[in-house]
Amino acid sequence: MQDARAHVLFQIDPGRAREATDYLTAVPGVTDAVMTTGAYDVIATVTASTEEALRGALALARRTPGLCAVRTCRTG
């Protein structure tokens, strides 16, 4: 069975992208979180062994400090 995966795009309050990235890298299931430029400030990849675990990781990711908006792109 293939892992459940999503790419999550975050718009963050100005000046808080580093804090958001630090938070996300500590969330279980977040395999990568990077600051970027453009429409989104942080992009994260979330991977889990089950859909339920993916939903749990995404719920934690939605608690990111400074979060203004989020878009989840489910893959696979």
All structural domains of the chain with their residue ranges: 4-75
pLDDT at 60: 97
Q: What integer pLDDT is reported at residue 76 of this predicted model?
A: 67
pLDDT of 75 reads 87
pLDDT for 65 equals 97
Topology of the domain comprising 4-75: Alpha-Beta Plaits (3.30.70)
Q: How many CA atoms lie within 13 A of 3 on its CB side?
A: 12
Per-residue pLDDT of the chain (76 residues; tens, 9 = 90+): 579 999 999 999 999 999 999 999 999 999 999 999 999 999 999 999 999 999 999 999 999 999 999 999 998 6
CA 67 to each of CA 3, 28, 49, 59, 60: distance values in angstroms, whole numbers, following the listed order: 26, 18, 26, 13, 12
